[in-house]
Structure 1
Amino acid sequence: MLSADPEKNAREAAPSEIPPRSLPLSDVVPRLALDGLRQVYEGRAVVDDVSIEVAPGEIVCLLGPSGCGKSTTLRIAAGVERQDAGAVAIDGETVSDPRRHRPPEARNVGLVFQDFALFPHLRVAENIAFGLKRADRAAHAGRVDELLRQVGLDGYGPKYPHQLSGGEQQRVALARALAPRPRVMLMDEPFSGLDKRLRDEVRDEALSVLKAEGAGVLLVTHEPEEAMRMADRIALMRSGRIVQVGAPYHIYNYPADRQAAAFFSDLNVIRARARSRQLETPFGLFLTPGLEDGQEVDIVIRPQHLKIDPDVGQGGPRPSAANGAPARGAVERARFMGSDSLIEVRMDHDGSVLRATVPGAWLPERGAGLWLSLRRDRCFVFPAD
């Protein structure tokens, strides 16, 4: 990936690359380590060389579209499925590789799924205690009360699951998984069955409980917002492979490729062709020292990073190092989206439509002239698809 900042590119001889694998966090032994996992179904690798580490108390979100191999990776980590290649280790001890395979019940992992799977004939307290060894249940009665307080259900022990709301049932499922103090917590789309308001509330409460317990958490989701909200690090997965790993800020602001950028938000894409190590566009010159002449590239920018100036008939704003040169267009459509407004602008130079968002309510009339500029520090330049 190249920066679209001309000064930055002038300082750098070549674009930096983001490593596809996670790097060691510290000298602390990871709670969970997946190393080179591979799983093949009907001749197709649904999990292909996946390596992830999860530290104690860390929440890592495995993020990607449906069918990319996220849930299969989670099932391999749990021991429900056995990989064709690679290894799984918990607290530095290998529990699965080509020579050995420890079953799920012997791995000290907690499992939470979209389906709460509570036992309807057992009370809440009995559901939570089910994960404890039979000989320990009486001795650990206090553990059940402690977890009920942690998940905000103090006093709910005598109730049955059908007497609870969906959010309350999900909290019970979380408490049950935490009851035996697992070293690793594996969660597969755990909040997707809840409505948005309730999902945010339960998710935030679950986050605080998981952090307090100190387990390493690997959470599967296809929702970028959920991953950004919960994760210490995000592992972005596509077609069975990890394409980028990093903190939410890093993975959002320094995407590995155009698809990675598009997974987190809408994009505007401007096609250009490199000549003499630069791109000539209606928005000014972009320096691209790492590209060969004739190579087509996409300049990518999110709608919130376009700068808008009304056309008052006196020409556009002056070009600047921060925003390049402005290009003129006319309003195609304007919609109020709640916290901001979405403006679609048809550009004069090629008839393409670019989308810009502005805070609050601003709805210019169709056909009104606008000047658009690109924030250079928020542009990405990728090889054209």
Structure 2
Amino acid sequence: MTPTPRLGLERISKTYAGSPAVRDVSFEVDEGHVMCLLGPSGCGKSTLLRIAAGVERQDSGVVRVDGRVVSGDASHAPPEARGIGLMFQDFALFPHLTVAQNVAFGLGRSLNGARSAVVGQYLERVGLSGYGAKFPHELSGGEQQRVALARALAPRPRVMLMDEPFSGLDQRLRDSVRDETLALLKEEGAAVLLVTHEPEEALRMADRIALMRGGAVAQVGAPYHVYNHPVDRKAAAFFSDVNVIHGEVRARQTDTPFGLFLTPGMVDRADVEIIIRPQHLKIEEDRGAPPPSTMRTGVPARGHVTRARFMGSESLIEVRMDHDGSLLKATVPGAYLPGAGAPLWLSLRREHCFVFPCERQSKVGNPWEDDRDRSGKRPG
């Protein structure tokens, strides 16, 4: 028997002043799982979080917690009646209360008896034993975030809603605090809905990612799937820089300076974009003759370095291609800094390429021959 999802949103829509903020969004979050709403500012992810919390009410759709309707056409439960924990980016600690009093706030105002024991337990779990008498201003940002986590977890919520809770931390602390928080949330077994605009954070923390755009979900799936099988060019580009190579379909193939790419399912004369991330371009120095082509890498194409930069763990090389003057970016591990003007050969690692209809105006109406799913990788 399939367990009931801890949190379920069904066909949620919300409009502000005639402008749609959320459009027909549905998803579920299971016990012990982290669902990440990922997208740029203004895409509707924080609105969805507030609707799940009960702070906002949707115009249409249903919110369920453990299968029970907490918000629909006929009823709307307030946040305190939903068994939901909340964490925000500003921590929202009470400055006039001690650490222990902040943690106890969700349990009641008294620190006597069992409540005091629960407070001590959760302060210990977040590594802040002995901090109960301190005030928030006496703590570092990472310590304040841990207090906010302890306060949210102490009532043992069935669902945890987190709105960019790590954005106020400096980069040095962020990774360790995220990892510690994720471990605690998994131990508690709460269903977590996390809002972020940072792809790295979503990949690091989520069991599933819902990539949002314009108030709707553009793609949803496991982090590996969303990253390696983007639904379109914008989805691929949200996670990293991409190179775009344009072509035109002829007999289900597209001819490029890197050789022929298979473009099954697309009609002749359709404009296509071949997308490849910088780390999947292979660089070889020009030694007087092009490197041999292979089934995997195709035909090498020549260009000249315009700029090379050391980025710490890798180097970024920008190459102006001889065939059309386009600029492609490649990354290589470690330090590799060829001088400006140095000739290089680039090859594509075809298993990492994506082929999509061109986002600019095409010469044909519908580039597809039929209505099959277009969300997967299309190798050459």
Residue 366 of structure 2: aligned partner: none
Residue 45 of structure 1: CA displacement?
1.3
Aligned partners of 1:126, 1:344: CA distance in 2, in Å? 55
Matched, 1:84 2:56: no
Residue 50 of structure 1: aligned partner: 25
Q: 1:45-100 CA deviation, whole Å, 9 max, x = no partner? A: 11001111111011111000000001000000000000001100001111001111
Contact 2:252 2:263 in 1 (8 A): yes
Aligned partners of 1:332, 1:296: CA distance in 2, in Å? 28
Alignment of 1:192-203 (within 5 A): 192-203=167-178
Question: Partner amino acid for 1:383?
Answer: P
Q: 1:171-228 CA deviation, whole Å, 9 max, x = no partner? A: 1011111111000000001010110011112111111111111110000000001111
Aligned partners of 2:141, 2:171: CA distance in 1, in Å? 12
Alignment equivalent of 2:208, drawn from 233, 250, 253: 233
Question: Partner amino acid for 1:358?
Answer: V
Q: Say which SS state the counterpart of residue 20 (structure 2) adopts.
A: strand
Residue 369 of structure 1: aligned partner: 343
Q: 1:341-365 CA deviation, whole Å, 9 max, x = no partner? A: 1111111100011000001101111
Residue 283 of structure 1: aligned partner: 258
Alignment equivalent of 1:248, drawn from 214, 219, 223: 223
Contact 2:101 2:111 in 1 (8 A): no
Residue 133 of structure 1: CA displacement?
3.8
Contact 1:129 1:137 in 2 (8 A): no
Alignment equivalent of 1:322, drawn from 279, 283, 296: 296
Alignment equivalent of 1:335, drawn from 309, 318, 330: 309
How many corresponding residue pairs?
Answer: 359
Contact 1:59 1:217 in 2 (8 A): yes
TM-score under structure 1 length normalisation: 0.91
Question: Partner amino acid for 1:247?
Answer: A
Q: Say which SS state the counterpart of residue 76 (structure 1) adopts.
A: helix
The runs of 5 or more residues in structure 1 that have no matched partner are 1-25
Question: Partner amino acid for 1:371?
Answer: W
Residue 139 of structure 1: CA displacement?
2.1
User: Relative to structure 1, is the Cα distance of residues 136 and 144 closer, same or farther in structure 2, using a 3 angstrom cutoff?
Assistant: closer
Matched, 1:115 2:73: no
Q: Say which SS state the counterpart of residue 157 (structure 2) adopts.
A: coil
Question: Partner amino acid for 1:61?
Answer: C
Residue 255 of structure 1: CA displacement?
0.6
Question: Partner amino acid for 2:88?
Answer: F
Contact 2:283 2:344 in 1 (8 A): yes
Alignment of 1:165-180 (within 5 A): 165-180=140-155
Residue 131 of structure 2: aligned partner: 156
Residue 44 of structure 2: aligned partner: 69
Q: 1:317-372 CA deviation, whole Å, 9 max, x = no partner? A: 12111011111111111111111111111111000110000011011111111111
Question: Partner amino acid for 1:85?
Answer: S
Matched, 1:39 2:14: yes
Question: Partner amino acid for 2:125?
Answer: Q
Matched, 1:380 2:354: yes
Question: Partner amino acid for 1:242?
Answer: V
Alignment equivalent of 2:158, drawn from 183, 186, 195: 183
Q: Say which SS state the counterpart of residue 317 (structure 2) adopts.
A: strand
Residue 134 of structure 1: CA displacement?
5.2
Question: Partner amino acid for 1:305?
Answer: H
Q: Say which SS state the counterpart of residue 26 (structure 2) adopts.
A: strand
Residue 121 of structure 1: CA displacement?
1.6
Residue 199 of structure 2: aligned partner: 224
Residue 274 of structure 1: aligned partner: 249
Residue 22 of structure 1: aligned partner: none
Q: 1:282-302 CA deviation, whole Å, 9 max, x = no partner? A: 100011121001110100000
The runs of 5 or more residues in structure 2 that have no matched partner are 360-380
Contact 1:30 1:53 in 2 (8 A): yes
Residue 129 of structure 1: CA displacement?
0.6
Contact 1:282 1:325 in 2 (8 A): yes
Aligned partners of 2:208, 2:108: CA distance in 1, in Å? 33
Question: Partner amino acid for 2:325?
Answer: G
Residue 372 of structure 2: aligned partner: none
